[in-house]
C-alpha cells in the first residue's frame, strides 16, 4: 500500500492543493528510469492517473523529502523473529546496521520485532545499534501459516496507526527476514483462515498514513520463489528484495527512494468513495520512466480506526 490521506487542511505552501471541490488525496510515488535509477525531473504532464478507471487530473506534484514534516523522515525496521532461520540472523543484523550507518541529518529510525515491540523513533545511532545487537530469533511452537499471516497484517496495521500521527509525508517500513512472511500476497479464501479482513485493514491503515513497505530477504540467491507484482509490499508501492546476496545495495536503494519521492495531490473523484479499497493506477507517459506507487487506496467515506 502508499500515500493517501484526505488532507486538505495539511497542504503545504510548497505543495499547493488543486482548486477543486471535495476532499483531497495525497499520494506518494517514486519515478524510475530503465536502469532503476531515480528520475528527479518528473512533471505533472508526465503522469496519467486513474482511480477505479476514472481519469483524475494532477492538482500538484512536488519533489518532497518530507512533504512538510517538521520532525524529519521516519523509517521503521521490522526484524523477523518468527520465521527467519537462526543461521541468517547475522545477515538480518548486518542489513539493519547498514540502515543506521546510512542515516542522514533529520532522519529518525525505530527498530521493532514482529513479536510486538512498541515503536520508539530516535536519531541516536548508539541506541538503534544496541537494539539491533539484541535481536535474536525466539524459539516458538510451530504456527499455522494463516495465523502467522494474520499476525504480520495486524503488526503492519498497528505500526501504520502509530505512524499516522507523525507527519503528512511518506513513512517507510522495512521488513528484514523471510520474504514469504512480509510479502504475503492477497490471501486465498480457501485452505484455512480467510485473512482478507486483516489484509484490508492493513492496506487501509497504511494508505491513510502514507506508509510504504519494503522487505529484504537475507537468504541469498536461489533461496526463495516469492516476490512479484501481486505481493503485499508491491501493492503498497514498495518492493521485495529477494534472491540477492547484496543486502547493502538493497538497503541503499530503499533509503534513496525514501529520500527521493514525489508527493502528488489530486481531488478525490466521485467514484468508489464508500469502497474499503479502490484501484489506483499511475502511469508515466514519458518514455523510459516507470512509476512505483501503491495500487490500492482507501475509500474516503469509510472511517479508519485511530489509536
Question: Mind listing the pLDDT tens digit for each residue in 174-228?
Answer: 999 988 888 876 555 555 678 889 999 999 999 999 999 999 998 877 666 555 5
Hey, where are the domains in the chain? 5-64+261-298, 73-259
C-beta of residue 103 within 8 angstroms of C-beta of residue 123: yes
- How many alpha carbons lie under 13 Å from residue 30 in its C-beta half-sphere? 25
Measuring CA to CA, which residue among 153, 171, 267 is closest to residue 212?
Answer: 171
Model pLDDT, residue 85: 87
Model pLDDT, residue 137: 86
Fold of 73-259: Rossmann fold (3.40.50)
98: left (phi over 0), alpha (psi -120 to 50) or beta: alpha
Which three three-digit cell numbers place residue 187?
A: 490471501
Q: What is the distance between the alpha carbons of residues 140 and 246, in angstroms, rounded to a whole number?
A: 29
Measuring CA to CA, which residue among 71, 63, 47 is closest to residue 14?
Answer: 63
Which three three-digit cell numbers place residue 84?
A: 527467519
In the 8-state DSSP scheme, what is residue 302?
A: S
Which three three-digit cell numbers place residue 65?
A: 523529502
Model pLDDT, residue 118: 78
Q: What is the distance between the alpha carbons of residues 32 and 58, in angstroms, rounded to a whole number?
A: 19
Helix, strand counts (H, E) of the chain:
7, 14
**Residues 11-61 pLDDT 10s:** 333 434 434 446 899 999 999 999 999 999 999 999 999 999 999 999 999
pLDDT band of residue 91 (cuts 50, 70, 90) is very high
Amino acid at each position: 500500500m502508499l500515500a493517501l490521506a484526505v488532507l486538505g487542511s495539511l497542504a503545504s505552501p510548497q505543495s499547493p492543493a488543486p482548486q477543486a471541490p471535495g476532499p483531497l488525496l495525497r499520494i506518494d510515488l517514486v519515478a524510475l528510469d530503465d536502469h532503476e535509477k531515480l528520475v528527479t525531473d518528473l512533471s505533472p504532464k508526465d503522469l496519467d492517473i486513474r482511480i477505479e478507471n476514472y481519469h483524475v487530473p494532477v492538482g500538484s506534484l512536488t519533489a518532497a523529502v518530507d512533504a512538510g514534516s517538521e520532525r524529519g523522515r521516519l523509517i521503521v525496521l521490522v526484524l523477523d523473529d518468527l520465521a527467519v532461520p537462526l543461521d541468517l540472523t547475522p545477515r538480518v543484523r548486518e542489513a539493519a546496521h547498514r540502515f543506521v550507518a546510512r542515516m542522514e541529518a533529520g532522519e529518525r529510525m525505530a527498530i521493532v520485532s514482529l513479536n510486538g515491540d512498541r515503536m520508539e523513533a530516535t536519531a541516536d545511532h548508539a541506541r538503534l545499534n544496541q537494539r539491533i545487537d539484541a535481536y535474536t530469533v525466539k524459539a516458538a511452537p510451530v504456527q499455522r501459516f494463516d495465523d502467522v499471516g494474520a499476525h504480520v497484517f495486524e503488526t503492519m496495521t498497528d505500526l501504520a496507526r502509530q505512524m499516522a500521527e507523525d507527519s503528512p509525508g511518506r513513512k517507510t517500513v522495512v521488513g528484514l527476514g523471510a520474504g514469504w512472511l512480509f510479502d504475503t500476497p492477497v490471501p486465498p479464501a480457501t485452505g484455512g483462515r480467510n485473512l482478507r479482513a486483516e489484509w484490508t485493514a492493513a492496506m487501509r491503515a497504511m494508505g491513510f498514513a502514507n506508509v510504504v513497505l519494503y522487505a529484504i530477504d537475507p537468504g541469498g540467491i536461489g533461496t526463495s520463489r516469492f516476490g512479484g507484482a501481486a505481493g503485499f509490499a508491491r501493492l503498497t508501492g514498495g518492493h521485495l528484495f529477494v534472491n540477492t546476496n547484496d543486502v547493502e545495495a538493497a538497503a541503499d536503494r530503499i533509503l534513496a527512494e525514501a529520500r527521493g519521492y514525489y508527493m502528488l495531490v489530486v481531488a478525490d473523484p466521485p467514484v468508489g468513495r464508500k469502497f474499503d479499497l479502490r484501484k489506483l493506477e499511475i502511469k508515466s507517459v514519458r518514455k523510459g520512466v516507470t512509476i512505483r506507487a501503491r495500487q490500492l487506496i482507501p475509500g474516503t467515506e469509510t472511517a479508519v480506526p485511530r489509536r
